[in-house]
Amino acid sequence: MKTTKTIRLYVDSKINISDNCILSANKSHYLSNVMRCKEGDYIYCFNERDGEFLSEIIVIDKKRTVILPKKQTKKYSKEVDLWLLFAPLKKDSTDFVIEKATELGVSKIIPVITKYTNCDKVKTERFVTQAIEASEQCERLSVPSINETMKLKDILEAWDSERSLFFMNERRASLPIVDAFSKNSSKSVAILIGPEGGFSDEEAKFIESFPFVKSVNMGSRILRAETAVVSALSIWQACVGDWNKKEDII
C-alpha cells in the first residue's frame, strides 16, 4: 500500500466506506499529472459532514478519478463558530488572509468594504479555491464559507445581535484583547479587522454604536492588516478556542 499523508482532498459529495467516489476533473489532473499517483495508491478524502477517510485509487486519468474509501481516520466534530470580517487588501495580502484564516479555524469569511478599503474587486470563487487548498494542507475537516463582499454599514445594520462582534480598534481606548476574549460568554463570535488605512473616526463611532460590538485594543503598535488578522485569530484560539481541544482520531 502506497499512502501519501500529504495528499488530502476535499470531497463535497457523500463519503461512505465501500462506496466509490468520483473526483472532479481538476482533482484528477492534480493526482495524475502533479502528484503522479497510480491505481492502487492511497490518499485521504474528507468533508465536514462525514470526516476523513483513507481511500484507494481505483481508476485514474487526467479527466476522471475514482476512489474507494476503505477506513475512516477522523470523525468530524463541531468547530468554533468564529467569523472573520476584513477589508480586502492587495492580491497577495488577501490571499494570505484567506489561507491563514482557514488554518486558524474561521468558519465564515466576509470581505467588507470600508472608507479606506483600497481593493474592492473581490473574486469569491478564487477565495473558495484557496480556502479548500488550505483546509487540505492543514488537515482541517471543514472549509470556511466565503461571503459575497458587503459594505460595512449594510452588514452591521443586518447583524444578528446574538453574535458578539470584536472590533479590533487601533486608535481608541478599549479593552486589552486577552481580557476581552477571556470574558466573552457568547458561543457565536466575529472579529472585525480594518483596511491598511484603518477605520475613519466616523466609521469607528458608527461601529461602536451597536450593542453587540466590543471594542478591543491590540497594543501600542500599529499592525499591518494581515498581521492583525493572524494575531487576533491566534489569541482567540489560545484563549477560548480549540487549540487545547483533543482531536477525535480513530
Express each pLDDT in 207-239 by its tens digit: 999 999 999 988 888 889 999 999 999 999 999
Say whether both 101 and 59 belong to one domain. Answer: no
Give how far Cα 50 sits from Cα of 15, 32, 145, 184, Å.
6, 25, 17, 31
Tell me what the mean pLDDT of segment 66-70 comes to.
Answer: 96
Say whether both 99 and 176 belong to one domain. Answer: yes
On whether residue 116 sits in a domain, the answer given is yes
173 vs 22: CA distance, rounded Å: 55
* Cβ neighbourhood burial of 74 (10 Å; 0-12, 13-18, 19+): middle
Structural domain boundaries enclosing 14: 2-74
Say whether both 68 and 87 belong to one domain. Answer: no
With a cut of 80, say whether residue 69 has pLDDT above it.
Answer: yes
2 vs 232: CA distance, rounded Å: 40
Tell me what the mean pLDDT of segment 159-166 comes to.
Answer: 95
172 vs 98: CA distance, rounded Å: 27
On whether residue 182 sits in a domain, the answer given is yes
Say whether both 224 and 136 belong to one domain. Answer: yes
Of 187, 175, 182, give the one whose Cα is nearest residue 240: 182
With a cut of 70, say whether residue 249 has pLDDT above it.
Answer: no
DSSP 116: T
Query: Who wins on pLDDT, 111 or 92?
Result: 111
**Average pLDDT of every residue of the chain:** 90
- Residue after which a domain boundary falls, among 40, 74, 108: 74
Grid coordinates representing 153? Answer: 454599514
Tell me what the mean pLDDT of segment 17-24 comes to.
Answer: 92
Of 155, 127, 158, give the one whose Cα is nearest residue 143: 127
With a cut of 60, say whether residue 46 has pLDDT above it.
Answer: yes
95 vs 98: CA distance, rounded Å: 5
**Which residues contact residue 21 at a Cβ distance below 8 angstroms, ignoring those fewer than 6 apart?**
11, 13, 15, 45, 55, 66, 67, 68, 69
Quick check: 113 and 152 in contact, CB under 8 A?
yes
With a cut of 90, say whether residue 247 has pLDDT above it.
Answer: no
On whether residue 249 sits in a domain, the answer given is no
Provide the CATH number for the domain around residue 140: 3.40.1280.10
With a cut of 80, say whether residue 128 has pLDDT above it.
Answer: yes
Residue 146's pLDDT band (cuts 50, 70, 90): very high
- Residue after which a domain boundary falls, among 74, 93, 114: 74
111 vs 89: CA distance, rounded Å: 10
Per DSSP, helices labelled H in the chain are: 25-29, 91-103, 124-138, 152-157, 177-182, 201-208, 225-240
Quick check: 43 and 66 in contact, CB under 8 A?
no
Predicted local distance difference test score (pLDDT) of residue 244: 64
